[in-house]
Structure 1
Amino acid sequence: MPEKPTSRIFHGSRVLGYVSTHVPFVARFIKRRGETLLCTSVGKWFHTYGCDKFRLLSVSGEHPGPITCMAGDNYHVYTASENNIYAWRRGCELKHVYKGHQAPVKIIYPFGPHLISIDEANCMKVFDIKEESIFMEQTFDGKSFEVTAFCHPPTYMNKILIGSQQGQLLLWNLRTSKLLYTFKGWGSTVTVLEPAPAVDVVAIALANGKILLHNLLYDQTITDFTHDWGQVSSLSFRMDGVPVMVTGSTDGHIVMWDLEERRVMSQIESAHSGTVNGLQCLMSEPLMVTNSEDNSLKLWIFDMPDGGARLLRKREGHSRPPTLVHYCDPTGENLLAAGRDSSIHIMNTVTETFNKSMGRASHNRKASKRKKRLEKDNLILPPIVKLSSCMQRDKQWDSIASLHAGKFVCTTWSYNKIRMGDHKLKPPQIDKGTVATCLTVTHCGNFVVIGYNNGQVHKFNMQSGLHRGHYGGEKHLAHKKALRGVETDLCNQRVITAGADDRLKFWHFKSSTTAPYHVMHLEESVSMTKCHRESGLLALANEDFSITLIDIDTTTVVRKFDGHRSKINDIAFDSQSRWLISCSNDCTICTWDIPTATLVDIFELPDPASSLSMSPTGDWLATTHRGELGVFLWANKLLHQRAFLKPIDRDAVAVPRLRLPTAAPEKPDIEDIGTIDIGDEPEYKSPEQISAELITLSDQPTSRWLNLLHLDVVKRRNKPKTPFTVPKSAPFFLPTIPSLELEFDLEKDKDGDDTTKMLIPEDLTTLTAFGKKLSACQTEENYVKCIEKLKTLSPAAIEAEVVSMAPDAGGTVEVMKQFLLLIDAMLKSNKDFELAQSYLSLFLKTHAPFISQNRDLRNVLETVEATAAVSWSRLQNLLLYNICVVKALKDM
């Protein structure tokens, strides 16, 4: 099967910055963990966070389409995507799939052993959770009753309350499939239904802003409230014994209502910059969790003097798609992302726990913070369109500068303080319609150079925010037309400016000069610039979709790259200035090899990349894309595998189309998940010996053979301090075998002749059971059995067996010869090398005087010596060869 075309260099890794969508979150208390888990939708996946530290715990598998609604119970998390519903365990294990709907599912509600769901065709289905079968089905007439909300009143067995767009409510018995009661309604759409802590009472939120506490038993309204901060989108009651109702609105406000005094107790204005889609008070705790379509999840605590809540923890990303990404530190772990929501976020590529928000750009940061109405705040600046940073002086003063769409002002930011700076950089004389178009922060971090659409270039001090000069002659004009790019070199000796007048000018940095020291006439108009200060290379993205590379030291064009078919959005160099990476509106990302001036990699994406940045360590490529809220990371495959990059002719090859990286590792689609029967796969067992030519060690612990040579030391160390006393009447014990496991010594010589006529049984002979088995050995298989027997004995038991082989200890010369032949067989097999050496050493140490006086034993010992010499010679040659090779490599 041919391989799927892919990128030669980059592989999609993961996405950063996704927290929440418009789908309300699911809160589940896990008793075993003692923690509440929060599940939020992020498109085709959902994240699971721990409520204690808001740490990301798991990421689910990919759904066929975006998640439309979520729910949860004690066992599962239920998600709906398109026409199907999925049940998940532990946040990432798919357990059930419920099919049967003919339209996308919009509401799901767990109800004991059943799961209730409503689709956009107004069809209600009740599934059996375990069997995945349809228990009940009911279709409502959308013209007279379109379902909008669900709830189960406590103490109402088998009954659910259904709200409609027409304002009516139905009390339905699921067990009997009968309609019990119809509430006429209040002439407005029911948006939220939530049971109150009081019996028979349900809170009903209407589209007209009314909130009703209604008694279902008597069909009477107890009290009502009027919500003046937008339509109610979520509602919950405090579950820690305080009579407070909390509501969230479509304008992002949160209101707390005192139910005893029936008034507003407190409110949080602009708690979210979008609709408060999910709101829930945690059980028995003064805590509240909210999520919104502004890509945020927040935890609030009720500890304010007026009974209100303050923000305790939060996880948030960009509320609108970011358009800029920039690595900001030399470690490559943190990057800056900015975009249309006028905010800058710090994202960590190692763990999302370290992600931080630097806030939104404002004309007056302190005033905006006091007003807390960020979405409608007139002080908020337009989206950020340009970004530059240098962390050399980050601890002393601001290190980041940014430009805003349609504005001449340049804002500064502090990476160290994680907030917007106090400086607003403005030129001394401002003409009407002046807009800042490009900027760069110098390598030392002391200055920022800004270019404007009127052709002016000004220099500012980052520490004080003061104007430090300009470049250009008449009317401070450096170019006759708008600036398209401004760059500085590594040593702050030169300033390079590119304008729409097709001129590239080189200026002396230190003194404000009226004329450049060199001017280059460009053949094409420039749209943007990017400079790699370490190598002195300047890349120009031209309006004819080509890229020109200029050496700023020699002021000459050194390379030109053609291949894009639409406007170039961004350019990035790798850390070694060997690659030039560019993205374009034609949805492609190209990698150009600078030394050979060739295209070495290209791939296409579903959405065009608006910005890209290469990690200083060369391991990640970060990109942002139109319509996407996240920052996507691509891993550099060449750091882990070897590949030869050949030139690519774009017109001659098919451009591979890749998917954007996801929050989880790539897995098969949910529809393809099934059970694969692979049969009984045999368990792999390592062979006893790889090759007969090699020497193999045993799998015995070191103490089992090393202590054989030092048993006298071990015995002295383990000698009891008090003498052992024998009991008067010792109980009867069966003899046991000294080993790691309890085994009785019931072994008999089964190979003996049962027809013997001796009256004395063999069990009363002086030889041990091992000695009897050893004396009967005649073949190699018998020796193998004796070796396995020795491996089960402890060092003390092995010593006892060796000592008992001597004739004066009850043994025989034949048994001693058989033991030497056993060692000879071990050495010839090249197995258990260290055991054979230790057994031989113990045998010689114990019986050396007797062996020297017996000719038969000496002859057998000479045979063992010759076998041992051959084994050691082979091992010695291999060791010396490896030592020589290692030494030669060290000296190279």
Structure 2
Amino acid sequence: MSTVKNGSAIFSGFRALGLYSNHLAHVLRFHKKHGEFYVVTAVGQCFHTYNVKKLGIVAVSNSLPEDISCIAADRMLVYAAHGKLISAFAKNKEVVHTYIGHEADVHLLLPFGDHLISVDRENVVIIWDVESEDTYLQISFDKVSFEVSAVMHPSTYINKVLFGSNQGSLQLWNVKSNKLLYTFPGWASAVTVLQQTPAVDVVGVGLATGQIIIQNIKIDETLMKFQQDWGPITALSFRTDGHPIMASGSPIGHIGLWDLEEKKLVSQLRDAHTTAITGLTFLHSEPLLITNGADNAIRVWIFDVAGGDGRLLRHRMGHSAPPTKIRFHDQSSMHILSAGQDGTLQSFSTVHERFNKSLGHGSLNKARAKKKGVAHDTAKLPAIVTFASETARQSDWDGIIACHRGFLVATTWNYQKGSIGAHKLEPERFNRNRALSVHATAVHITSCGNFAVIALSSGHIDVYNMQSGLHRGHYGEDKAHAGPVRGVAVDGLNQLTVSIGADHLLKIWKFKSKELIHTHSLPNAPACSLLHRDSGMLAIALDDFVVNILDMETRRIVRKFSGHRGQINDMTFSPDGRWLITASMDCTIRTWDLPSGSLVDCFLVDAAAVSLSMSPTGNFLASSHVDGLGVYLWSNKTLCGMVSLRPLPADYEPTVIMLPGTCPVQDTEEDDVVELDSSEMAEYISPEQLAEQLITLSLIPDSRWKNLLHLDVIKKRNKPKAPPKLPKAAPFFIPTIPGLVPQFAVPDTTNEGQSKVVSLGVLSQKSTFYIQLEDALENNSYEKPVKLFKEFGPSAVETELRVMSPEMGGDVKVMQSFLKMISSILKSNRDFDLAQAWLALFLKLHLRLIAEHSELLEEAENVSQQLKEAWLTVETLLNQNICVLTYIKSALL
């Protein structure tokens, strides 16, 4: 029987990084109480809310079952269409209404007072009552003559809605009386955008031909026309701060700025986005323009320069194509370096988005790229396939090295400057014949940050100096491997270099002399490798989906992990080297425990993980996935609570977990209750004693018993130099009876005239421990006195042992009972350290007295015999463990 588990035992979804926008237009909202604008963008199955002031994320909505196809908002709610359904969100997070009735996918939404207008792909328009979720009106258009492509509410037009069509005509409807008021013949081109202008009765119409029509719908007159040369109009917006400017969006990422008084194009924002402009909105009465595009970016532009040009004020930008490689950059676990298929190298912060930065796009000529722009750079480099980074010398020179897809030259990058670095590392042996299809396959930087090791598909491995970029040698007489090199790494002390190649060989070289010292044959061709420098463990993923672990010290394969059913994409070690986490094309993420050699955690994701990286502090696992633009963080649950990890059975079936940031937070009561197998461990509570034959120490702090033999020295050292002085205004204290246990003295009013001489009988009062020892001598049960004595501090223990002697009012019988108590502790094999300390102090105080009384001497001999037996047991166990450890070490060596 397989053990049923609910998801992952180690990792839980935390949040997504680098997701900001998709192909849907954003929505702008104004919060009257806050006096602040907020922008809402759709991201997959949920939407994000940002404040415009700093573009800081405010809220992430709960996810929907499908991707959002359209989004709109009014003063109170945010509406999101997904498939045939429409959901209304309150407080930017929770679904409060669901509108069911469409028989086709919804693609247009328009909030309309207390109602919501929606249009589906079958040309059906439904007007909903927002609160009751009932259908107020339904209109069906003929797809042949009027296919709805845009909808808007003209300002001051009560109960009127304007529809635009793919045929080019417009229709004005009164939705209260369900009447068609007027049909505008149009301009024989599909209407893509309808936008209200600041003037009443005037509407901006964007067409698929790139034409913009400013139309007076009251008198059906065209006031002005503009022609955009960049394709269809994707968005329109008008300034309302006193400047007659209209902005238009295009499918190639340009924004045109038109002067409505002079009727001409006055400015352009070229390459505002790398993809189509999906939404642009001028803030009310402010010179700010917000844009978003399918390139996963939100930008805020400000128009504060002469001539009407806009400049970029702030932005949030992620990868416009899926990331291929991610790695935590430094030891703080705060920055993740990510290389994407869009050719950029970016840094995402796990703390706050304001610390994100882009290191830009790789280029062979940085100056020319800066002058011409990335889009027109002819020397633009392909996307980064893999990279390595070190922070040891990043303040002095470049600390990142990357190799590009199908490209021979490896590039350096500077994290602090946020740009491509100074060196383009290319071996001289290929200068004469550049036609060879040789490219860099793997890179590595030494822990000191001084050297870079670059492996090539030709089998060569070269070493370069990171500061100067000079070639410092290569491995092997001619080549290091007979085929492409799949992985290369250098240990933490720059002593050994290990490389793996497609020739099924693993080779270990001396880093400095480049001498080959060991060769190991692999059973299959390796796909990639990863070295954990602290432990010296090298993980090698093979093409048969098996992971081998090689110990660099013994140079032997110490572990083999099999179970993946697809190509292994990436691997990462936990900081302590105990876990190896692997991601495969079979959509699983597996955690292997190296000491036990077993699989301890496995879960499925919807899209296969392409890259993995565990944070240096062990609190996060970062992952990037196929066709996903974000970097996803998983929190390590073992740092926050008790997690019992057990080897998973061979027939274990993992469950699918939704990616972080796209799944709603659900109460545990709502989750399906999964009955655990009887063998599943609950919270473990350690027993007082593991086995009776073992010696158990107490859990009492060392300060309670270690200094018992040195109390006289401590008291002498802490003795005050001057006697205490009585304060002038001493507070009133209730009189107490002298003795070991403080008790309040009851005033005796009957004998006021008697002598004030203290009676010695009062001082000989017995303590609770003394009384319990007397009782134990009769019933031979010492559990109560032992439990009580363990609560005493060092001074109290000494006092109790001193008053046992007959000179201090004690009794020999009680001393004999104390020795029996020590004997009972030794028999139980518990509190071994406490028994030794108490017995040592007792002997120090009463050694002469024990020699004078035969019953005490006899009891002391019994205790001595038990001590010998206990120590013999401990010594035997220690010797056995030492022998086992010595044997294991000799077997490994």
For the aligned pair, the TM-score class normalised by the smaller chain equals: 0.7 to 0.9
Does the aligned pair in 2 maintain the 1:63–1:81 contact within 8 Å?
A: yes
Q: 1:887 to 1:468 in 2, by over 3 A?
A: farther
| Matched position secondary structure for 1:64 | coil
Offset at residue 668 of structure 1 (A):
7.6
Q: What's the CA shift string for 1:2-50, capped at 9, x where partnerless? A: 9653223222222222111111111111121121011111111111111
Please, which of 444, 466, 471 is the counterpart of residue 470 of structure 2?
466
Q: CA RMSD in A?
A: 3.3
Offset at residue 123 of structure 1 (A):
0.6
1:481 equivalenced with 2:473 (yes/no): no
1:313 equivalenced with 2:317 (yes/no): no
The letter of the residue matching 2:442 is C
Matches within 5 A, 1:234-633: 234-372=235-373, 374-375=374-375, 377-430=377-430, 431=433, 432-474=436-478, 477-511=479-513, 513=514, 516-633=516-633
The letter of the residue matching 1:658 is I
Q: What's the CA shift string for 1:563-587, capped at 9, x where partnerless? A: 2222111111111111111111111
Supply the distance in 2 between the matched residues of 1:42 and 1:62 (Cα, whole angstroms): 10
Q: What's the CA shift string for 1:135-188, capped at 9, x where partnerless? A: 111011111101111122222222121100000000111122111111101110
| Gapped regions of structure 1 (runs ≥ 5) | 673-712, 714-836, 856-868
Does the aligned pair in 2 maintain the 1:64–1:82 contact within 8 Å?
A: no
Q: What's the CA shift string for 1:248-303, capped at 9, x where partnerless? A: 11101111111111111111111111111110000111101011111111111002
| Matched position secondary structure for 1:586 | coil
Does the aligned pair in 2 maintain the 1:61–1:667 contact within 8 Å?
A: no
| Matched position secondary structure for 1:429 | helix
Supply the distance in 1 between the matched residues of 2:221 and 2:577 (Cα, whole angstroms): 75
Does the aligned pair in 2 maintain the 1:508–1:517 contact within 8 Å?
A: yes
Q: What's the CA shift string for 1:478-507, capped at 9, x where partnerless? A: 222111111111111222221111222222
The letter of the residue matching 1:510 is K
Partner in structure 1 of residue 7 of structure 2: 6
Supply the distance in 2 between the matched residues of 1:214 and 1:240 (Cα, whole angstroms): 21
Supply the distance in 2 between the matched residues of 1:3 and 1:594 (Cα, whole angstroms): 23
Moved more, 652-661 or 275-284: 652-661
Supply the distance in 2 between the matched residues of 1:569 and 1:31 (Cα, whole angstroms): 50
Supply the distance in 2 between the matched residues of 1:28 and 1:181 (Cα, whole angstroms): 31
1:21 equivalenced with 2:22 (yes/no): yes
Offset at residue 380 of structure 1 (A):
2.6
Supply the distance in 2 between the matched residues of 1:366 and 1:148 (Cα, whole angstroms): 45
Supply the distance in 2 between the matched residues of 1:38 and 1:221 (Cα, whole angstroms): 32
Partner in structure 2 of residue 656 of structure 1: 655
Supply the distance in 1 between the matched residues of 2:378 and 2:104 (Cα, whole angstroms): 43
Does the aligned pair in 2 maintain the 1:114–1:127 contact within 8 Å?
A: yes
Does the aligned pair in 2 maintain the 1:14–1:664 contact within 8 Å?
A: no
Supply the distance in 2 between the matched residues of 1:585 and 1:61 (Cα, whole angstroms): 28
Q: 1:228 to 1:556 in 2, by over 3 A?
A: same
Supply the distance in 2 between the matched residues of 1:239 and 1:39 (Cα, whole angstroms): 21
The letter of the residue matching 1:155 is T
Offset at residue 643 of structure 1 (A):
3.4
Offset at residue 592 of structure 1 (A):
1.5
Partner in structure 1 of residue 115 of structure 2: 114
Q: 1:495 to 1:149 in 2, by over 3 A?
A: same
Offset at residue 883 of structure 1 (A):
6.2
Matches within 5 A, 1:671-710: none
Does the aligned pair in 2 maintain the 1:56–1:353 contact within 8 Å?
A: no
Supply the distance in 2 between the matched residues of 1:593 and 1:74 (Cα, whole angstroms): 53
Supply the distance in 1 between the matched residues of 2:794 and 2:599 (Cα, whole angstroms): 42
Supply the distance in 2 between the matched residues of 1:133 and 1:164 (Cα, whole angstroms): 26
| Matched position secondary structure for 1:267 | strand
Supply the distance in 2 between the matched residues of 1:34 and 1:304 (Cα, whole angstroms): 26
Partner in structure 1 of residue 846 of structure 2: none
Matches within 5 A, 1:213-224: 213-224=214-225
Supply the distance in 2 between the matched residues of 1:60 and 1:428 (Cα, whole angstroms): 55
Offset at residue 887 of structure 1 (A):
12
The letter of the residue matching 1:528 is C
Supply the distance in 1 between the matched residues of 2:794 and 2:294 (Cα, whole angstroms): 64
Does the aligned pair in 2 maintain the 1:59–1:664 contact within 8 Å?
A: no
Q: What's the CA shift string for 1:767-801, capped at 9, x where partnerless? A: xxxxxxxxxxxxxxxxxxxxxxxxxxxxxxxxxxx
Offset at residue 98 of structure 1 (A):
2.1
Supply the distance in 2 between the matched residues of 1:428 and 1:369 (Cα, whole angstroms): 28
Q: What's the CA shift string for 1:671-691, capped at 9, x where partnerless? A: 99xxxxxxxxxxxxxxxxxxx
Q: 1:51 to 1:206 in 2, by over 3 A?
A: same
Q: What's the CA shift string for 1:656-683, capped at 9, x where partnerless? A: 33322234653389x99xxxxxxxxxxx
Q: 1:453 to 1:308 in 2, by over 3 A?
A: same
Supply the distance in 2 between the matched residues of 1:73 and 1:854 (Cα, whole angstroms): 90
Supply the distance in 2 between the matched residues of 1:370 and 1:125 (Cα, whole angstroms): 52
1:76 equivalenced with 2:85 (yes/no): no
The letter of the residue matching 1:647 is P
Q: 1:85 to 1:376 in 2, by over 3 A?
A: farther
- TM-score, with normalisation over the residues of structure 1? 0.74
The letter of the residue matching 2:290 is V
The letter of the residue matching 2:437 is G
The letter of the residue matching 1:399 is G
| Gapped regions of structure 2 (runs ≥ 5) | 672-728, 730-742, 753-765, 772-784, 798-830, 838-893
The letter of the residue matching 1:134 is T
- TM-score, with normalisation over the residues of structure 2? 0.74
The letter of the residue matching 1:84 is L
Does the aligned pair in 1 maintain the 2:211–2:226 contact within 8 Å?
A: yes
Q: 1:130 to 1:563 in 2, by over 3 A?
A: closer
The letter of the residue matching 2:11 is F
Supply the distance in 2 between the matched residues of 1:3 and 1:537 (Cα, whole angstroms): 32
Does the aligned pair in 1 maintain the 2:208–2:231 contact within 8 Å?
A: no
| Matched position secondary structure for 2:516 | coil
Question: How many aligned positions are there?
Answer: 704
Q: 1:116 to 1:883 in 2, by over 3 A?
A: farther
Partner in structure 1 of residue 762 of structure 2: none
| Matched position secondary structure for 1:12 | strand
Does the aligned pair in 2 maintain the 1:506–1:519 contact within 8 Å?
A: yes
Supply the distance in 1 between the matched residues of 2:358 and 2:25 (Cα, whole angstroms): 23
Does the aligned pair in 2 maintain the 1:451–1:486 contact within 8 Å?
A: yes
Q: What's the CA shift string for 1:38-92, capped at 9, x where partnerless? A: 1111111111111111111111111121111111122221111222222222211
Does the aligned pair in 1 maintain the 2:406–2:440 contact within 8 Å?
A: yes
The letter of the residue matching 1:260 is E
Q: 1:129 to 1:523 in 2, by over 3 A?
A: closer
Moved more, 448-457 or 212-221: 212-221
| Matched position secondary structure for 1:118 | strand
Q: What's the CA shift string for 1:502-542, capped at 9, x where partnerless? A: 2222222224x4x5232222222111111111111111111
Offset at residue 879 of structure 1 (A):
11
Supply the distance in 2 between the matched residues of 1:542 and 1:328 (Cα, whole angstroms): 27
Q: 1:623 to 1:74 in 2, by over 3 A?
A: same
Q: 1:452 to 1:90 in 2, by over 3 A?
A: same
The letter of the residue matching 1:553 is E
